[in-house]
């Protein structure tokens, strides 16, 4: 009988807590996506286009490496980069990698340059250019 009383008190506390939480959650404002307008869209598009232009410039810039080789020599107009297939297993790296890691492999090896941080503005611009060149291609992560 004592156990039943304890169980009943525990049950009441659990029910009371659940009811209190339910009331609290019901009165919380719903999370919503950020609102945006036409001006926001224009700003975002302009920033993206600027990143693509910077990426195109970096793609053809011999100073990204140390030996005069540029990305465009192996990948004219971003050809054969297939950003839509990342992340995927890369034999050269020995693991599943995002696009930026493969870009760094190319910078380090054919270009004999210094790797870029994933969030480096030049790395972001290179990715923007490469993905822009492949716009409209269906995403196919992991595909070879």
pLDDT at 49 over 90: yes
How do the domains of the chain map onto residue ranges? 39-133
Q: Which residues of 35-138 form beta strands (DSSP E)?
A: 88-90, 95-97
What CATH number labels 39-133? Answer: 1.10.760.10
Please compute the mean of the pLDDT values over residues 60-68 and round it to a whole number.
97
Nearest to 105 by CA among 51, 131, 54, 113: 113
Q: Which residues pair with 90 in a beta bridge?
A: 95
Write down the pLDDT at residue 22: 57
pLDDT at 130 over 60: yes
pTM metric for this prediction: 0.75
Write down the pLDDT at residue 12: 47
Strand, coil or helix: 19? helix
pLDDT at 15 over 70: no
Please compute the mean of the pLDDT values over residues 35-47 and round it to a whole number.
93
Nearest to 142 by CA among 103, 93, 99, 85: 85
Contacts of 122 (CB under 8 A, 6+ apart): 54, 58, 64, 116
């Amino acid at each position: 009988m004592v156990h039943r009383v304890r169980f009943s008190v525990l049950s009441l506390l659990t029910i009371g807590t659940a009811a209190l939480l339910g009331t609290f959650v019901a009165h919380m404002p719903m999370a919503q996506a950020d609102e945006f307008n036409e001006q926001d869209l224009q700003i975002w598009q302009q920033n993206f286009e600027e990143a693509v232009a910077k990426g195109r410039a970096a793609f053809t810039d011999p100073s990204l490496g140390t030996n005069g080789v540029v990305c465009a020599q192996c990948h004219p107009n971003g050809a054969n980069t297939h950003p839509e297939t990342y992340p995927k297993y890369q034999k050269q790296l020995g693991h599943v990698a995002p696009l930026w890691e493969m870009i760094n492999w190319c910078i380090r090896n054919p270009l004999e340059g210094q790797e870029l941080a994933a969030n480096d503005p030049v790395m972001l611009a290179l990715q923007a250019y490469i993905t822009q060149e492949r716009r409209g291609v269906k995403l196919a992560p992991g595909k070879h």
